Structure 1
Amino acid sequence: MSESRVKSPLHPEILPLRQVPRGEGGGKTAGLVQLARLGLPVPRALVVLNASPENLPENIETAWSEAGGGSAAVRSSGSAEDGAEASAAGQYESYLNVPPEGVEQAVRNCLASAGSERAEAYEQGLSGTGTSAMAVIIQKMVNPSRAGVIFTADPANGDASLMIIEAVAGLGEALVSGHAEAARYVINAADGRVVESSGDLEGAALDKHILAELRAGAARAAADWGIPLDLEWAVEEGSGQLRWLQARPITALADSLDSVIDENTIVTRCNIGEMMPGAVTALTLSTVGRCLSTGLAIFYRSFGAVSRKEPDPPFFESFQDQLFMNLSSMYKLAFRVAGASVEATELSILGYVLPPHQAGKPASPLLRLFNGVRYMVSLLGWKQALRKLEKLARGFRIPTEFRSAAEIYQDMLLAQGPVLDRAAGYHYQASGFSGAMNAALTITLSGGNTRVSDEAKALITRLLSGVEGVESAAVLEGLSELADMIRGSAAEKLLDCSDAMSIHNTLLTDDSPIGIFYRNFMERHGFRCIREAELREPEWALHPEHLIDSLKALVDGPVRKTVPEPAVNIPELKLPQGVNPRAAAWLTRQARKGVRGREKSKYLLILTIHRFKLAARALAAALETEGLLPEADLAYFLTMEELGELLKGRGEGLIGRSRRRRRRFPQRQELRFPDISWGRPEPEAAPIPEGGSCFKGTPVSQGIAEGIVRVVKDRKDAEKLKPGEIMVARFTDIRCCPGVRTASGGWSQRSLQFS
């Protein structure tokens, strides 16, 4: 940097593009500098800095002449323009085919546009101020035969497996303004294959060489930026050389955390959609979502389904902020472990078997046999895994009091592998026994047929209902017992006259048996909530409104029956023909044990995540206190990596990114996806049967229920339930349905999934 620039930073000057200091010159300049640094062909350019319409560099036209002169394109480059924070493209003026003698006036006009009402209004909306540092780019005008844009991901849905190219004959301004029909190409990002072409394929067509060059250059730029890009380009008339004119983030997609999968990968919302309905925040995805995937890799690697030299397969994917299980990765168990099968995997995850499809290639029989023995040893070690998980969960804490954001962040980062990943791995081992026994029982009761009948499903539900000592059922049992204690006592008036927080605080300080029972209940279950694996979701101890609403509903409801459900006697059941009663009885006992282990394991995993959640909450508050974020809540919409950049002072654009993600979050919560998708999943419109009177589901018991049907989508809907009404919900959750007892177990958790 020159001496004069240090002494007088606002002195107007004109510099060659490659000499513009980092952080100066605005978004468009930064994009061009980065393209040039990558070696991509960018037309020569000068950049005017620190100028105003009344205060221009004295040597603009001379400098342009010395740089090669000729016709120029004169464009603005504002600090809020074409960046990751937001794109103000189109809010300032641009001038094309400017003759050498008109360059100075074009620069003056560009600078004047920074004060236009249109640009100021846009800038005010972005930053709360009406100011934007403005630079101006003077660039050699390209005489194009073709010009256009290329998106390194589909801007409509963020699909990074595709690139979109649009081209017009002549200047690209005709494309931007809509005055010319474009040739449109959708190409495969991996191999350049044209997937789809449309539009003006005669007047604006591109040959395969230009398409290949566009793909290669755009891919190189996007990889360097690390985000999806929107790039402008032109092909010079005569020489046929490609020139890159501009690069900017696709603002909405720069925020995206979507996975990239091929069209043969099978993903599902089953199972994970029950644990985590709706969307997850970026912080949850990068921590809890990561540990769920890494933990499963640890479990698979323990018995050879994933080899030790093999990188962790992606067991979980993210699309539009919702989590999916990668079923294709889970098939590794079926092909590398004797005793496992594709059908059993699908039964365990989906609850049904897919039509025959190509899922993978089996390993050698000897390797499968060896891994099968290791798998059985792992399954039989589920109690030991449960003990290890309990020790880990009970002992895990991240201190937060009187600590800086950087200190809390560092401890959270260090806890991911030794704590979260290991906890998830133990959980999979402890619950894997339940999944294996459930699948074995299902296939046995189906006579060895993997096509499970409705009769078999109903029978399995009966066999696995009423399991004692199930951790998740203890929540409702505890609330029901508390409701019985309150009903008819002086505390019942408290429920009628006070708000939820007052009731909560009163019960916590009450020394009566009711208060003591409530405190004990909160000590055991106070960290629970709906969507409890989401770090942003407050636990009952912090926001007890839902819990108190459920308690009120139980107090107002009928007195519960304390008669225990009778144990199922296998010989008394009508088993399908050919089913061995002894085998069914043994598998039932093992599956019921597995249910208890699985639910205890889930409880302990959520407890571990809760302790991590407390640290995340403290980190968010510290970031606000230290002035790194304007609101603590925005921390949840940044990944751990992005928070690290923020703490290092390299968080340019991250506040805007977190705000955009938060703004989209409610809409992402409402998206519904098919149970199964081959390739990238797309949201489905909610199916509304003709007349709105037909619901389809899997029957789990005999007989007919008649009554008013109430569709329950959330807690408020659940509170409207009346005795005698039939509840229809997408998922069952004892904490979502006050007064409704639901059994625990794989099949019963799917029994109310209607479409």
Structure 2
Amino acid sequence: MGHRSGVQDAGVTGSPSCTGGSSSRASGELVVPLGAVDGSDGAIAGGKAANLGELVRAGFPVPDGFVVTTHAYARVVGARGHCPEESVPGDDGSGIRARIEAVALPSDLRAMITSAYAALGGGAVAVRSSATAEDLPGAAFAGQQDTYLGVLGEDAVVDAVRRCWASLWTDRAIAYRRRLGIDPAQVRLAVVVQRMVDAEAAGVVFTADPVTGDRERIVVEASSGLGEAVVSGAVTPDRYVLDTVGGVREQFSGRREVVIHTAPGGGTSHEERVESTAPAAQLLPDDVLAELTRLGTAVASHFGRPQDIEWACARGRVWLLQARPMTALPPPPVHLGRAQRMLAAILLEYLPVRPYPIDMSTWLPHGPAGLMAQVTAYFGIRSFEDFLVEEDGVVTRLTPPAPRPTLGVIRAPWRLLTRARRYDPRRWTEDPRLAAYLGRGRDLAAEDLSVLAWGQLLRVPQRALNLVHPLVDLRIDYLPRAGLALVRLLVVLHLLRRAGLMSDLVLGAPTRTTDANRALEALAAGAREDHQLSAAVTALDLEAVEDFPDFSAALRAVLDEYGHRETTSPLLVTPPTWADSPKTVLGLLVALTSAPPARAAHHGEALDHLLTHPLLRSPRLRARVRDWIEQARAGIAFREDSHFYFTVPLPVLRRSLLEIGRRLCAAGVLSTAEEVFHLRLEELEGVEDPGRLSRSAAEELRALVRARAARREELTGVPLINPGAVFVSRTDGDALVSGTPAGGGVATGAVRIVSGPSDFTRLREGEVLVCPYTNPSWTPLFQRAAAVVVDTGGLGSHAAIVAREYGIPAVMGTGTGTATLTDGLVVTVDGTTGRVVLAASRGA
């Protein structure tokens, strides 16, 4: 049993209650022919039956059958009070299942089922569960309810219908609904009964490659006998990768360890094949593969999205047994140019998590990404725009655009030079616009959001977003001299044949990040002096930390000054800031509990080495070169510090959104305050006071949140873009992973995977930090790490810059470092060649 069932399919709508509901068939039929339902009948037929009916009506080869509708379920099950899932202890639905399996069917319903069964010829049938809740895209319910194959005889069919109903209350189905936040009152079960196809071969066809997302590749899996062997994972099936006209691109012969057939007396029989080391002979002939390609392509076209289709082949004819949208499908492969790859590498480092709708309508267009789009547009280049694709309100993929020049590029040289002459990054903190910006930010942060009227509260997010406009102007004004200073220094170093000193010369300038790190180091030093305090910090116990007043006051001061720093991404408002997540700061302190190593003094050494050049004997020229270096360092510091100040509105923006969510939660519209992240700002701005919100408006918001939450759940684990398209594989020889060499030197240590801020405390002294991304908040970890290996980023990324400051090897843009390397594996990281190898094989 346990066949993939209860599917939620494309084009099916409806959210019935446990005992009521409506659909396009208002007459309340209990049993209907399969061909009488279509995609609009999900409320009475469930997703599986509705899609099968759609295929029947479109002329596809589907075995004859009928549907025991959700009206029958409501009449028999709902009327007897079996629906209250909230009364189920834990996930144990055994009591409900037992009652449903024992229930007696009304005589008229039983007669309808047996009559419909007789009309199919009275032979073996497949009895399949078909769940509703199609208003929740992504809630596939695959494998949650049951299917019974080879059912023979009237009594057996009626019993199978009851058991399908009961399977809506299996422990796995209850847990699945609770995980997705699906109200059990919205889910009912129909049952589809079809003539059994005694297949010679069967399996699944995917109309897009489920691994790569390639829509031009069709993947067929097949084995002998019924398809249950394939979908249950009982066999190693044959696998064919086809093009869209049925041509075989790849082929793999499986072992087909078990063959399942319909048993003569009902049910199924399992025949185990004699184990052989040789793969079985090819199962499907070319004409069957061509037919599967034709049918699969047509079904995908009919439903308008890639499909996962179960099929069976009997006596040379292919039958379709089920069709549902492919879930968790990666985005289509993309071919990126060099500039697009560079942009994608930057964006992936800043987008380690999938943005929410509230991100897309607030901080993404107005925060650092929006800032860079405005800055580059001012100088005639369009970039950082429309790089995220949304479907049904959920971000599905990242598509980095190629930078495009506009007519404004003609004026760019004049704009660059005039601003470079006027605005010196060494004095940017004296600009009155910065002081005014910080003052407005403090004023807004001081407001008590909890006492604001609803209309006033709804205006706070936009007020926070409007704050950042002066920072855009400051970036436009001060970046030109910063960029020109770096270019000038690089040219000079090339002329002097000292280009290799560039990184060491410009790194290490004082910044707000270094200020934050020193503040953290001071806190860590204080914790090291008190064993009990150190234990509280290590345990991330904020309540215990409060027992140490001096330390608590110092911690609060750090959070007041630096609390707007992001923990995960500067492009998103939904992840917490330091102020929102003080435990993240404690986790950083844990990384500093051992005495921090001295910061590498590369700048002074590099400067001394440069000034010994024979062409720099003149004191005047040496002074000029020193000034050029300081200007370049000031440019680097400006980039870092302007980013630091840019995130000042983040905490109040996030708090205002959560306050809106809290009020909607208190009014019963949302289940948690964080569910507000599934809505867009303009949707929230159109909501009237929750206390006066109509029932229909509240349900509309709830449905929107549920749909987007389920779609996000479906995409869990699906990358925004294939890392292989962004980071060109450089793995060769004995390298486990490789990438961009970003920090000189070689180091050996045990791997430690740090996926995010919650893992900060896992890193031990001398381990190799392997992570998907970094940001300035991660800097203290570099004091503990022997080397750093990052999935994303390049030479100019935060991790690369900090690694060079600390003198530890760094390899950026591996694409697969966190997937390939494992905790405890001892590796050698070569920051000069960009290779990571097993420690024992470095010299191989």
Give the TM-score taking structure 1 as reference length.
0.64
Q: Say if 1:441 and 1:746 are closer, same or farther in 2 by CA, change over 3 A.
A: farther
Contact 2:675 2:705 in 1 (8 A): no
Counterpart pick for 1:524 among 534, 541, 561:
561
Distance 2:782 2:144 in 1: 57
Contact 2:309 2:324 in 1 (8 A): yes
Contact 1:715 1:737 in 2 (8 A): no
Residue of structure 2 in register with 1:464 after alignment:
506
Distance 1:545 1:559 in 2: 24
* Greater displacement, 459-468 / 572-581: 572-581
Counterpart pick for 1:23 among 29, 43, 50:
43
Amino acid at match of 1:58: A
Shift of 1:209: 6.9
Distance 2:53 2:420 in 1: 57
Equivalence map 1:123-162=2 (5 Å)? 123-127=173-177, 133-139=188-194, 148-156=203-211, 162=217
- Whether 1:262 aligns to 2:309 is no
Residue of structure 1 in register with 2:293 after alignment:
211
Distance 1:185 1:640 in 2: 42
Equivalence map 1:79-118=2 (5 Å)? 79=131, 84-89=138-143, 91-95=145-149, 105=155, 107-114=157-164
Residue of structure 1 in register with 2:380 after alignment:
304
Shift of 1:374: 5.8
Segments of 5+ residues of structure 2 without an aligned counterpart are 1-13, 15-19, 77-103, 254-281, 685-698, 786-795, 812-828, 830-844
Residue of structure 2 in register with 1:348 after alignment:
none
Distance 1:45 1:323 in 2: 37
Q: Say if 1:97 and 1:20 are closer, same or farther in 2 by CA, change over 3 A.
A: farther
Q: Deviations over 1:217-252 (max 9, x none)?
A: 3155253xxxx54223568978x7x8654223445x
SS at match of 1:54: coil
Shift of 1:284: 8.2
Q: Deviations over 1:448-490 (max 9, x none)?
A: 99xxxxx734x2233213424x221221344556789x799xx
Residue of structure 2 in register with 1:14 after alignment:
32
Contact 1:634 1:659 in 2 (8 A): no
Amino acid at match of 1:54: L
Contact 2:564 2:579 in 1 (8 A): yes
Equivalence map 1:686-725=2 (5 Å)? 713=754, 715-716=760-761, 721=765
SS at match of 2:656: helix
Give the TM-score taking structure 2 as reference length.
0.58
Amino acid at match of 1:133: R
Equivalenced residues, count: 664
Shift of 1:411: 7.2
Segments of 5+ residues of structure 1 without an aligned counterpart are 338-365, 450-454
Shift of 1:262: 1.6
Contact 1:303 1:371 in 2 (8 A): yes
Equivalence map 1:585-596=2 (5 Å)? 588-596=629-637
Shift of 1:601: 1.9
Shift of 1:598: 0.9
Residue of structure 2 in register with 1:54 after alignment:
105
Distance 1:213 1:554 in 2: 61
Distance 2:114 2:360 in 1: 52
Contact 1:81 1:87 in 2 (8 A): no
Equivalence map 1:515-594=2 (5 Å)? 520-528=557-565, 530-531=567-568, 533=570, 535=573, 537-545=575-583, 547=585, 557=595, 573-574=611-612, 588-594=629-635
Contact 1:393 1:423 in 2 (8 A): no
Contact 2:567 2:777 in 1 (8 A): no
RCO higher in 1 or 2 (8 Å CA, sep ≥ 6)?
Answer: 1
Q: Supply the RMSD in Å over aligned alpha carbons.
A: 6.5
Shift of 1:594: 1.6
Q: Say if 1:34 and 1:117 are closer, same or farther in 2 by CA, change over 3 A.
A: closer
Contact 1:463 1:588 in 2 (8 A): yes
Q: Say if 1:726 and 1:463 are closer, same or farther in 2 by CA, change over 3 A.
A: farther
Residue of structure 2 in register with 1:347 after alignment:
none
Residue of structure 1 in register with 2:640 after alignment:
599
Q: Deviations over 1:513-572 (max 9, x none)?
A: x988765543221233543536565444344345457669879859999x9997986895
Residue of structure 1 in register with 2:308 after alignment:
230
SS at match of 1:24: helix
SS at match of 2:190: strand
Distance 1:216 1:392 in 2: 58
Equivalence map 1:307-456=2 (5 Å)? 312=385, 314=387, 329=401, 332=403, 336=405, 395=440, 401=450, 434=482, 437-438=485-486, 441-442=489-490, 444-447=492-495, 456=499
Indicate the percent of aligned positions where both proteins have the same amino acid.
19
Contact 2:52 2:323 in 1 (8 A): yes
Shift of 1:135: 1.7
Residue of structure 1 in register with 2:516 after alignment:
475
Amino acid at match of 2:760: R
Contact 1:427 1:602 in 2 (8 A): no
Q: Say if 1:480 and 1:264 are closer, same or farther in 2 by CA, change over 3 A.
A: closer
Contact 2:379 2:409 in 1 (8 A): no
Residue of structure 2 in register with 1:186 after alignment:
241
Amino acid at match of 2:172: Y
SS at match of 2:210: coil
Contact 2:207 2:296 in 1 (8 A): no
Amino acid at match of 2:643: K
Residue of structure 2 in register with 1:357 after alignment:
none
Contact 2:504 2:603 in 1 (8 A): no
Contact 1:145 1:237 in 2 (8 A): yes
Distance 1:59 1:130 in 2: 27
Distance 1:497 1:656 in 2: 40
Q: Say if 1:677 and 1:289 are closer, same or farther in 2 by CA, change over 3 A.
A: farther
Counterpart pick for 1:164 among 212, 219, 229:
219
Contact 1:526 1:540 in 2 (8 A): yes
SS at match of 2:191: strand
SS at match of 1:591: helix
SS at match of 1:649: helix
Amino acid at match of 1:214: G
